[in-house]
Each structure stands twice: as C-alpha cells, then as structure tokens.
Chains A and B, each alone.
Chain A
Amino acid sequence: MADEESRKKIEISEICRVEGHSAVHVEIEGDKVTQVKLDVFEGTRFFERLIVGHHQDEIPHITSRVCAICSTGHVIAAIRAVERIAGFTPNATVSLLRELMHLGMIIESNATHIYALALPDFLGFDNVHKFASEHTEEFKAWTSLRNIGALIQTTIGGRPFHPVNLHVGGFSSFPKLESLLQIKSLLQENLQLTIRTCEVLMRFPPRVRRTSEPIFFALIPEGDHYGYFGTKIRATSGFECDVNDYKSYLKEEAVSHSHAKRSSVNGQPIMVGSMARLALFGSLLTGEAKSIYGSSAMSLGDNNTIWNNLAQAIEIVEAFHRAVSIVAELERTADVWNTFDARQHTRVKLDATAGSGCGTVECPRGTLYHYYEIDNKGKVSKADMVTPSAQNTYRIERDIQEVVSQLLPSETDESATNLRANLETLVRAYDPCNTCATHMVSLRIT
C-alpha cells in the first residue's frame, strides 16, 4: 500500500474570477509531480464558427463579444485582419485614435486586474466590502485609473467596452478635440497615481518561483515607440515571423481535460503578456516607466511570474505618457480632422476583396490573432482566433508543476496551506482572461 500512500492530488475545483471558470488538477507520486491540468470549463462559445457567413463589416461587432474587458482588442484585431486582406492602410488620424482607444483598454484592464483581482492576495482581503471600506486608498486608485481608461474608450468608441464607433475602414465619427484635451489633462493630473501603483507592487516580493526560463513572444511594435500593434512576432529565442504565417510556429490543439485549446511552439510552452512585452521591448519605454523598469528585478533578468503584476503597472505608466503624446499630435493636426464635416465623414467603405489574412494586436494579456478567409462577396468563409490565455495555458501548467515540485520534499500542513494560496496567486498573475482566471477557489489536498 506504500504506493497508494505516496500518491496525492491537489485540486483547485473552481477558480472563477475574471470571465469564466477553471480548475487545476495536480497529481503527485512520491516527491514527483506526474501531471498538471488546467481545466477551463467555461461553456463553449464557437465564435470561429458563428462568424462564418457574416459580412466583413459585421465581424468586429460580433467578435467583440468574445470578451468584455479586452473587447477593444478583439475589435481592432478583427478590423486589422479585414483591412490587411483588402490592402487598406488607414490614415494617420484613424491610426492614432485606434491606438489611443487601445491604450484606454490597457489602462482599464491592467488597473482592474492589479487592484481588484491581484492585490487582495497581497493585502489580504476577501470581499469587496472590505476592499471599499478598509483599503480606501487602493479602492480610490483603482476607481480613478479605471475611470480614465473607460473615459478614453467611451470618448472614442461610444462606450467603455463593446465599442460602436470603430469599424472596418475607419470611424463613424471622430471625437471632438475638446474631449481629447480633457482626457490629456486627466492623464497628466493622475500620472503620480500610476507611479504609486508600481511602488505598491514592488513592496511584495514573490513567494513562489518557477525554475525554468520562459520563452517570451510579443509583436514587434509598429512605429518608434512602445506599442501594441504589429504584424511581426518576435521571441526571446531570436525567432521572428510574419503573423500571417502563425500556423507555421504556433500549434493549437484541443486537450481532453479542457474547453480551452492549448498552444505550443516546437512542443514547448510560451508566455505572452505584459512581462513578455517588457522583456522584448523594454528598451522602448520612456520617462518614469523606463526608470521604474530599470530599477525592477525584471530588468536584471528575474522572470518570476509574479512580477507580471508589476509589468502591467509599468505599462500603465507608459500608456499615460504615450496617450498624452497622441493627443498632442492630434491637437497639432486638428485642422485636418477637427472640422464638423471631417469628423462626420471619416469612414472608407472597403470593397469586397477575396483573400485571407491575420490581424494581430497585443491585448493586455498577450498577442491576439484573428485570422479570416473572405470570399468575393465580402463574407467570412473561415475564421480562427488564438487568444492570449490559450497561449499561456501550457506555461501556467509548467509553472504549477515547477512550484509544487520544489515544495514537495519539505511538505508540512503549514506549507500545504501556503501552497494553496500561492498557487492561486501564481495563476492569477497571468491575469487569465475570458475563460480561465482565478479567485474564488476551494483547493483540496487529499
């Protein structure tokens, strides 16, 4: 019976914070972790199928519904795919407004993850009433940052998520310059808050550590600044490729234990998201974001997963700077676009062009791929989406395996209790989106 006694299981039966439901199963034999499964049991959605037959102009509004908090990312990825297929390049005003819109999402999404989802682990509160009443400073910081992100998206897109004003070919109408200038002032007034957010996160050193180095993937940013749009991917291994060929490097497969597909590159897990972007393109940061990153463990090569929370905070600082620059540029060129007539007639109607192509953006949680095949009537004949969470799943499983393996030899009741909390914190640091993600977990060690 010795074998039976040495066989153990760790089950996190319901991890359900941030858009969906997932569980973790760990199997242990002796002092070896034999299997780790991240089971995403969110109901199946079939977006790649239900978009088939729809006109290319409808795609962004339907794919937006994959996920609310990164709906702006899904909308822009879909638009970029269709425009790439049609060979259309939007003008500078459209590009800048799309980028500003995207930064609004980065600010809102990262702030919500940091304060409402990740910080409870570090500050030790377990319900929203305590958050609002006992951690008022953090609650206010979250509200302010989130509201700025929401205001940017509402001003440009019409509402904080599932935007109505972004389309294939441009915008229905441009926002007024005055609204953008108000946003600029708000960004400047609240910059200190973004820096304080980084300082808060730097106070908490990681309690667990993965043991292998991750392979990071991120889009090479368009333009000469830190950014979220691109058509080429780069990895820390030195690999580079056009995203139109994503199927040549990114293997996506259905796994029997989960509703989420799992991605790998050459059979290995990869990591995408804020930390991956900083690892690859941290040299493009400016101002305070640059100096905070320079003083962080990450810039010295410490790629502990938990630092992804700080990486998200650093991206908020940079997003504030970049958003101010974008508004300044729009102000400089206002005579081109800020007339009543120009603001109303901004959208280019794209003719149906049969073809296929991939549109990509860096969402808060990593690279998002939207691939479409369009027929000569402008209808979708095939679609494929690869979400950041699917790309991170394999790496999350690897992290859990490494963390549990380290702790097994010295396991006591106390360390088992800590392990429970620490595994949740670890998974949560990935900020898993739309399907996985964590908070309310009942973890059972048998």
Chain B
Amino acid sequence: MLSSNMSKGQERSQTIPSIAVHGLTGCAGELLVILENLEQLIPYVRVASFPFAQSSNEEDRPVDIAFVEGSVSQPHDLERLLKIRAQARWLVAVGNCAVWGCVQKGGCRNQSTVSLLHETYGEDSPIECLPATPLQDHVRVDVKLSGCPINATQLLAVTASLLRDHLPYITSKPVCLECKLRENACVLIEQNLPCLGPVTAGGCGALCPTYGAACYGCWGPCEQPQMEAMATILEEKGYDMQEVMSRLFAFGAPDELFERVKKNLTAKS
C-alpha cells in the first residue's frame, strides 16, 4: 500500500495503512458513525486526517482510503474533493449525500439554486453555491456505500476488504428483500402505508417496516427501481401525483430516473 511513501519519522505510518475522513456539505452523520466505530478501526489503520475528530491532520500526503461524506454544494467542496481524490488510493463515498445527493438533491431539483439563494440570504448575497450533486458527478468513486446514516457493520466490512486490496461487493437489492427475510407483515399492502421499500436500496435491515412504519427511501434507489409501478400503486392508494413524486424523490436519485418517471407519468395522464 501507499504507506511506503510516508516519512521515516512516522513509525505507525510505515507499518499501518492510513485513512482520511472528510465531510463536504451534509449532516455529519457518517462522520459520527465513523467516530463511534474508531475503536474498531484504530488497531488496523492510522487516522491521517479526520478534522471532525482530531486537531492534528495531514493535508498534503497520500492516503490509502479516503472516506468522504456529504454532497458537493459549493465551489469549496469541489476543490476539496479534487484534492482528496488526487491523494487517495481508494475513495469511498459514504452516506446518501455522497452517493445520491440526499434531501438537498431531492428537494432542490425543480428550483433554481440562484432563486433559493436569493430567497434565503437576500439578492445581494455574495455566497457561492452549486446545486447539490453526488461525488460521482465529479470524480471517480471506488466504493459507494449509501445509507442515512450508513450501516456500521457495512462500513467495517468495506474497510476490511479494501485493506486486503479488493473491492467489496455491496448489494443494492430492495428493502422488500430484507423485509421478507425478517418475516414482517407488508405495511404497503396490509396497512396502506406509503412504503417505498420496493424501490429503495436495502442495507438497513428493513428498519422502518420492522417498526411498523413506511420506508421513506433514505438509502436512495435500489438496483433497477420500478418507479413507475411504485407511483401507480401509491396513486391507487389515494395519494395525489404531486405527493407521489415528492415522496419518491425526496432522498435523491439521478436526474435521468426522475425525468424518465416524470415523462412516463405525464404521458399516462
């Protein structure tokens, strides 16, 4: 691993792979999950940079794994991301914001960033902002670990894989699969709750339905999400199309998917 590049004075750096943990624009949830699991990581890695958790951080040296939370929402985020990418062997996007753009992407999709800025901060605001976008829109991302927040067990598994030099397999099968394995009663069919489990990536262990609540899509879309069918079911349950669309896309999804569903639904009506 890249640790051979490290200076001689850093004893741990010569023997132990290094990680960096960075936050762009987000809620810091993934930083918190990583902080709370540090005890398990520290025996195996050197924490080269983690500004959220320590005051001594390396800025200009290569690291083996960089975990990046948050979306790119301002020019400053993009500058940092490019720098992080250049220094990292593996770049892991952690959390929905980094993988899909989360609620900022979902909520601001149909509004111009400039008008949002003016309404929030006034028309003469000097603040620079960009529409919220996931990391993969800007740089190569080696591993996409979604979640809101991420699952700590998955985080540790991903780290273990990368430390062994191979890319981890992360499933994005729907929440329904995990729900069936837990033998939950279906809250969509039996309780008519607006459950987005059929189109949402699992990994949470079907948390919401297990508590008797509707999945609200916080891990982003599953593989090949059947959004149009999901929309039709929700419409049949009595939700108006505006609400169906705002629920389906609240937690971020690629623009192509959003446009496709919008187009199909418009054509249908």
Chain A positions within 8 Å of B, measured between CB atoms, are 14, 16-21, 41-51, 53-55, 58, 61-62, 65-69, 71, 112, 116, 120, 126-129, 131-133, 139, 143, 146, 150, 158-162, 164-165, 167, 172-173, 254, 256, 259, 344, 379, 434, 439-441
Contact = CB atoms under 8 A, between A and B. Distances in A.
Instruction: Determine the interface band of chain B, counting residues with CB < 8 A from chain A.
Output: 35 or more
A167 B208 CA distance: 12
Contact of A165 (B127, B132, B211): B211
Contact of A439 (B51, B72, B103, B250): B51
A246 to B, nearest CB: 18
B218 A162 contact: yes
A19 to B, nearest CB: 4
Most buried by A among B120, B125, B129, B208: B120
Most buried by A among B54, B74, B125, B126: B54
A44 B208 CA distance: 29
B211 A62 contact: no
Contact of A17 (B38, B52, B73, B250): B52
Given A129-B12, A132-B42, A164-B213, A43 B73 contact: yes
A133 to B, nearest CB: 8
A403 B72 CA distance: 36
Given A43-B76, A165-B213, A259 B247 contact: no
Contacts of B242: 53
20 contacts: A14-B51, A17-B51, A21-B76, A43-B25, A43-B73, A43-B77, A44-B127, A46-B116, A47-B103, A51-B107, A55-B246, A65-B103, A66-B27, A120-B55, A128-B38, A128-B42, A259-B127, A344-B212, A439-B52, A440-B51
Given A20-B28, A66-B27, A162-B148, A128 B207 contact: no
Contacts of A128: 38, 42, 47, 50, 53-54
A128 B19 CA distance: 12
Nearest to A41: B76
A173 B47 CA distance: 40
Interface stretch (B29-37, B160-168, B254-262): B29-37
Given A58-B250, A127-B56, A434-B28, 8 more contacts: A50-B107, A65-B103, A68-B31, A162-B149, A259-B121, A259-B127, A439-B53, A441-B55
B107 A43 contact: no
A16 B27 CA distance: 13
A165 B119 CA distance: 33
B55 A62 contact: no
B47 A127 contact: yes
B212 A44 contact: no
Given A17-B53, A127-B54, A161-B29, A50 B104 contact: yes
B176 to A, nearest CB: 16
A139 B52 CA distance: 16
Interface string B212-227: 1100101000000000
Contacts of A18: 28, 52
A375 B50 CA distance: 44
B117 interface: yes
A172 B102 CA distance: 24
Contacts of A146: 36
A54 B250 contact: yes
B149 A158 contact: no
Nearest to A157: B211
Contacts of A44: 25, 73-74, 116-117, 120-121, 127, 129
Interface string B72-88: 11101100000000000
Contacts of A160: 36
A69 B33 CA distance: 10
B9 interface: no
B28 A43 contact: no
Interface string B119-153: 11110011101001000000000000000110000
Contact of A58 (B25, B73, B210, B216): B216
Contacts of B31: 19, 68
B108 A49 contact: yes
Most buried by A among B36, B47, B55, B242: B55
B212 A54 contact: no
B266 interface: no
B203 interface: no
A63 to B, nearest CB: 9
A379 B36 CA distance: 37
Interface string B94-119: 00000000111011100100001101
Contacts of B39: 132, 139, 143
B212 A126 contact: no
B91 interface: no
Contact of A45 (B35, B36, B57, B104): B104
B149 A68 contact: yes
B23 interface: yes
Give the 10 A-B CB pairs with smallest separation, nearest first: A50-B107, A43-B25, A68-B29, A43-B73, A19-B28, A126-B56, A172-B213, A172-B212, A440-B51, A43-B74
Given A41-B76, A173-B211, A19 B23 contact: yes
B120 A71 contact: no
A394 B175 CA distance: 45
Contacts of B35: 112, 116
Contacts of B106: 50
Given A162-B149, A254-B125, A49 B29 contact: no
